[in-house]
Structure 1
Amino acid sequence: MPRKLAAGNWKMNGLRASLIELKHLEDKHGDADVDILICPPATLIGACEDTPFDIGGQDCHMGESGAHTGDLSAEMLADAGASYVLTGHSERRTDHHETDEMIAAKSQASYDAGLIAVICIGETLAEREAETTLAVIDRQLAGSVPDGADHENTVIAYEPVWAIGTGKVPTTAQIAEVHAHIRSRLTARFADGAHMRILYGGSVKGSNAAEIFSVANVDGALVGGASLKAADFSPIITALENA
């Protein structure tokens, strides 16, 4: 079984004072038997060097260096202390018009820098209502995940766009259907696809985490707002440890 992963994406939130939350989290889960990943804003990556948790970037450029003002390469993130990076988050796909091809290039750059890529996929509400969810998942998996992906350098995060930050959560049957579909595609394409971790993301909180983690092929969660405070993230981690 893949080792379970609780990942927190702080998005554009957090100042140095916010790092006290990592200390609070360490007090409760410093010796957790699941992996814990925090993706703070890039300004805080270097300041997280003393935490026992894995640290990740929220995005990277596909190039190693160059005239790309404001961007960070995967190598820079690794040099700052990151071991993971998110690629393809729906907010990047939507707000920055990132394509599957761009996401695959960023993920490959992550591999080249020794980072683990958490590749995000998921459908919009319109796509869900049009009953094209699985077709969207197929397209994003085929286009966003490089051929060199394996269970050591890649995590897949399924985040239905319509559930992110809205409080709306798919039914367990809907989550099970998509995660089983993702697993089938990974095992068909990659020799170790059965061991690649698949996270669920989208309004995960302490009150629904146990139910979500009971679903087959859910190996953890990618958590947004609920990861900003240790008091909110801790119950999710506990639920994952008990799953």
Structure 2
Amino acid sequence: METSSLSVLIDRSRNMNKKVEFRHLGKMRYAKAWDYQTELFDSIVQSKLENRKRTDRGENAVSTNNYLLFVEHPHVYTLGKSGKEEHLLLDQQGLEKEHVEFFKINRGGDITYHGPGQIVGYPILDLDNFFTDIHKYLRFLEEAVMLTLQDYGIKSGRIDGLTGVWIGEENDPNPRKICALGVKTSRWVTMHGLALNVNADLKYFGNIVPCGISDKAVTSMEQELGHQLDMNEVEGKLKNHLATLFEMELFENQEN
């Protein structure tokens, strides 16, 4: 019994793949990016199902792929599975007037905004390659953002019971959310992710109840520092912090 358990652990360790392909999608409409990450997500899940068949036949499993996508969306509101549609404060005519799209999607969480000046990160990882702990996964995403903000002298933290990254001193009566999180997992494969407000136009948050939280404000790095930031520079820092925390072997496919 002990020998069998040990061999399973050895086999799992042998097949863990910490290589992560980074792809920057540039500026892309939400629906296209959703389809893009779904295709990658489904391919990893399918690989895991095929691995189960291999091991049932006594064959060795093959390593599964991992991806990290960065993208910048045109103005869009997305509503998670547990969200309330009344948290969108615009009707269809209002959305058209503001030139904003709206999607109900399959991540957790409530409603949020994506738009220019915001870094949206979609880690599509097989957590069997890293650790099988969703709580730890979310905390690592938050920590990568907090370390990035620290690089710019912005002090940030967490609020008990709420996901995301917040600005404000301890016990501050008016904390400000600077990064939202919303993920989906299946068979320990992740999709969706984080949205960090860098130079985002915060007026668009006025058309929603952000993340279903009505009594807290939203902010951006530009708002906190009083000047715009270089998006490429911030992206580079965030990417490096994610790679360090997850112990990723990050590489970029120049063909994408």
TM-score exceeds 0.5: no
Higher strand share: 2
TM-score tier (shorter)? under 0.3
Q: Normalized against structure 2, the TM-score is what?
A: 0.26
Larger Rg: 2
Structure with more helix by fraction:
1
Normalized against structure 1, the TM-score is what?
0.27
